Amino acid sequence: MTQNIYDDDQFFKGYSQLPRSIHGLAGAPEWASLRALIPDIKQQNILDLGCGFGWFCRWAAENGAEHVLGIDVSERMLARAREMTRDGRIAYIRADLESLTLQTGRYDLVYSSLVFHYLENLQLLMGEIYRSLLPGGAFVFSVEHPLTTAPIRPQWQVDGGRRVAWPVDSYQVEGPRSTNWLTDGVIKQHRTLETYVNLLIDTGFRLAHLQAWLPTEEQLREHPDWEDEKHRPTFLLVSARR
């Protein structure tokens, strides 16, 4: 059963104050790179897994998608998504991705941003996603990078008040990590890069692009506050095709 931490009072308050929650896609440092992996979405049927506040759903509709379905397990995230959405092409439903069944051959694009590292069982979902895509359909997603999720006690190494390194341990030990992010005891699942890639290959997907996201020099000039993120890849971005 999922932890559904996004419905926790303290976590939700903290998450609501993050730049990506206030400014949407423009406040997500990896969005430009993820955006580059998304094919033309005009007249397309799109599924957003773990849609959160629905920023991507609204972006997709504004950019010509025919229909967008956003799925999330958090009532609070979905309530905020519904409040911010006035578009008949977008629908939201509440469901747990750990036990989701999807319609066969329905979607041109399945998208998911920063959700899969919360899931214990990704194999079942991968199969559902593959089955729900039309032949040639695209699957684009991001997760916290395996080098970021690996440490048993995730903690920056600090020197002179500055974050200087992200020590990595237990890389091969897959499974839950308890982190204190926004509130104590947030459970994320660590997987190696091979596990992500082999899950895709074994499901039948064709890999199109992999990217370890770190801020570019240009982004750092514009956002000096992202300096810490240059020490290790924060996100893994993946594009695959059915």
Ligand X SMILES: C[S@@+](CC[C@H](N)C(=O)[O-])C[C@H]1O[C@@H](n2cnc3c(N)ncnc32)[C@H](O)[C@@H]1O
Q: Per rule CB under 6 A, is residue 29 in the interface with ligand X? A: no
Q: Per rule CB under 6 A, is residue 119 in the interface with ligand X? A: yes
Q: Per rule CB under 6 A, is residue 141 in the interface with ligand X? A: no
From 37-45, 57-65, 107-115, 156-164, span contacting ligand X (CB under 6 A): 107-115
Residue 235: partners with Cβ closer than 8 Å, 6 or more residues away: 30, 114, 142, 143, 144, 145, 148, 212, 213
Q: Per rule CB under 6 A, is residue 114 in the interface with ligand X? A: yes
Shortest Cβ 76–ligand X spacing (Å):
8
| Residue whose CB is less far from ligand X, 31 or 130 | 31
Burial of 107 (0-12, 13-18, 19+ CB in 10 A): buried
| Residue whose CB is less far from ligand X, 123 or 157 | 123
Q: Per rule CB under 6 A, is residue 102 in the interface with ligand X? A: no
| Residue whose CB is less far from ligand X, 33 or 172 | 33
Q: Per rule CB under 6 A, is residue 147 in the interface with ligand X? A: no
| Residue whose CB is less far from ligand X, 118 or 205 | 118
Q: Per rule CB under 6 A, is residue 149 in the interface with ligand X? A: no
Shortest Cβ 135–ligand X spacing (Å):
26
Q: Per rule CB under 6 A, is residue 97 in the interface with ligand X? A: yes
Residues in the chain: 242
Q: Which long-range contacts (CB under 8 A, 24 or more apart) does 96-103 make?
A: 96/1, 96/2, 97/2, 97/49, 97/50, 97/71, 97/73, 97/125, 98/1, 98/2, 98/124, 98/125, 99/124, 100/49, 100/71, 100/125, 100/128, 101/128, 102/47, 102/128, 102/129, 102/131, 102/132, 103/132
Q: Per rule CB under 6 A, is residue 52 in the interface with ligand X? A: yes
| Residue whose CB is less far from ligand X, 188 or 242 | 188
CA atoms within 13 A of residue 6's CA, in its CB half-sphere: 24
Q: Are 61 and 92 in contact (CB under 8 A)?
A: no
Q: Per rule CB under 6 A, is residue 46 in the interface with ligand X? A: no
> Given the rule CB under 6 A, which residues bind ligand X?
2, 6, 20, 50-52, 55, 72-74, 77, 96-98, 113-115, 118-119
